[in-house]
A and B are shown apart, each in its own frame.
Chain A
Amino acid sequence: MLQILASRGDLVLLRDSVEWEGRSLLKALIREVALKGEQVQVLGCEVSEEVFREGLDSDTNSRLVYHDIFRDPQGWTGNWGPLGILRACLRGAEPGPCTLAVDSLSWLLLHAPCSALCQTLRALGHDNSHPGRVRVLGLLHEDVHGPGPLGALRSLAQIEVTVGGNLGFTTAQVFHPKPRHRSIEQTYWFSILPNFSLEFHKEPLLEPRPHRGPQSPTVDAMADLTFNVHLSKKEREARDTLALPFHFSSEKQQSLLHPALASSTSQIFYEPDADDYLDQEDPDDDLDI
């Protein structure tokens, strides 16, 4: 997955959701860039500098320049517009290759017009002091925006990484939209360690579901059943040969077609009890039929 950091002049879009946050992945990618000895400019809109630097090693932190708009997003204590500082981020950067991490594009989208943000992002890639050598990592909360702004930013991005999860593991779907070529989509399974290094799981771990809580000894659910769950071969054969009452067979057909035959062979015997009261009168005598 780290080849997404190989190309330059790109906007890499990290899409996350409330369930699966992408800031950890952003910090992990920043760490990878810093390990190569590059300086990283961070535009921090949603968390404070201390929180963002938390967990990163001192080497990474020394290469990280944090531009803080978290503390004063509206300039209530005297400040400037959000897009102004986005442009200003690169002014103080060292000449040469440069990485700008935006935390987050969602915040900028809420505070600036979408078209102005797209133009500014586009202009960053063609910055005169870093021609074609600026890489922008932008975090985007996709559940905050409508399809319009999302589509606009997606059209600018060369690489999209969607953070998600399955079976307790985090996944990153990397999507390279390539005009005139077939786009590439790959899924990576990974986890982020407390020092923000990435740990990849090479094979998709589909079946092992992590055990919930301490492992309990397995109990045989069929041990004390009062009925048979399975049939033996003999029992199965006996069941198969049994004719069910609702099955229509030729014998049944015969018996229905010749009911007289059946009735002539049967008789009804009636023996009254000694104490039975027998009324000798005709019960229908009064009907005058």
Chain B
Amino acid sequence: MFPELNNLLNVSPDKPEQGKFTLLCDAKTDGGFLVHHFLSFYLKANCKVCFVALLQSFSHYNIVGQKLGVNLIAARDRGQLVFFEGLKSTVEVLFGSKEQPNTLKFIRESSSDLKSLYEFVQKALTPSGDGSATSWKFPVLLVDDLSVLLSLGVEAVAVLDFIQYCRATVCCQLKGNVVALVHDSDQTEDEENAMLMNALGHQSSLILRAEGLVTGFCKDVHGQLKILRRGLLQPKSEQTRSLIYQYKIQDKSVTFFARGLSPAVL
């Protein structure tokens, strides 16, 4: 969890917002630090977290999590974190037995709907009724990242439907949050990915977009973060609805500063 990002978004683990879909985008840079931020943020906020990790292994997220002050193994053991490891499941689908039930079975099937993945999320986050879920504040679904599903052969519309079902269940029914990362492949002219990103943008209430600098790589400024809040069209709200900051990723934190005001150049 990066306190500076919390300040920019005006949230804290004590008073997190509820019922929101946050879209994370990255273009010409790696937006993974945003995923790590939200994972540690919601674990510290005492929320029940279902993490659909398609990009990296559990140990990767755990190592980064430890740097940010959360222990994923402990969180998983006490039932706060439900971790779906996409890398393992993919291998099991391809090399395991066909009869074995698998959440990613859509890879093998011709119909590429993500119903099984949605059912996994629904089962993970719906309170079981035995009283164990009452200690958590509210459920959160975190997906890293949706572009991997496109690479696995899922259609963009199926991914949109999956997120819509998750929003209906997590945001509306359970009053929780959904956070998902998607890559912006503007350079590659991938129409499916561009369509997915724009359509998800229309569903979201907050968009955090990490972009590489147009001037190229820089040692002291790693990129810029654009914060776009979507909502009522009120006058003079331009100054608050869209903000751009530059950032530098450090070992255990990320520092944000106004454009052109990096401590290295002042």
Point out residues on A near B: beta carbons under 8 Å: 16, 18-21, 24-25, 46, 48, 50-51, 70-74, 76, 104, 106, 110-111, 141, 143-146, 163, 165, 167-170, 190-194, 199, 201, 210, 212-213
Contacts and interface: CB of A to CB of B under 8 A. Distances in A.
Given A16-B202, A143-B198, 6 more contacts: A21-B202, A73-B165, A110-B160, A144-B195, A169-B236, A194-B232
Interface stretch (B10-18, B75-83, B237-245): B237-245
A169 to B, nearest CB: 6
B113 A20 contact: no
Contacts of A191: 233-235
A192 B164 contact: no
B202 A18 contact: yes
B168 interface: yes
B33 to A, nearest CB: 22
A18 B242 CA distance: 12
Contact of B199 (A19, A110, A192): A110
17 contacts: A16-B202, A46-B164, A46-B202, A48-B168, A70-B168, A72-B165, A144-B199, A165-B233, A165-B238, A167-B238, A168-B239, A170-B235, A190-B233, A191-B234, A201-B235, A210-B238, A213-B239
Nearest to A194: B232
A248 B197 CA distance: 64
B252 interface: no
Contacts of A71: 168, 172
Contact of B164 (A70, A146, A212): A70
B198 A76 contact: no
Contacts of A110: 157, 160, 199
A19 B228 contact: yes
Contact of B207 (A18, A25, A146): A18
Nearest to B237: A168
Contacts of A73: 161, 164-165
A191 B235 CA distance: 6
B216 interface: no
B131 to A, nearest CB: 27
Interface SS majority for chain A: loop
A193 B160 CA distance: 30
Q: Which 8 A-B pairs have the closest CB atoms?
A: A168-B238, A18-B201, A191-B235, A170-B233, A210-B236, A48-B172, A71-B168, A143-B198
A24 B231 contact: yes
Given A19-B228, A170-B233, A212 B239 contact: yes
A191 B161 CA distance: 32
A51 B20 CA distance: 11
B199 A24 contact: no
B213 to A, nearest CB: 21
Contacts of B207: 18
B238 A76 contact: no
Contacts of B195: 144-145
Contacts of B113: 74, 76
B230 interface: yes
A168 B236 contact: yes
A144 B168 contact: no
B228 A144 contact: no
A48 B20 CA distance: 12
A24 B232 CA distance: 6
Contacts of A104: 202
B231 A21 contact: yes
Contacts of B165: 72-74, 76
B235 A169 contact: yes
Contact of A74 (B161, B203, B237): B161
Contacts of B231: 21, 24
Contacts of B228: 18-19
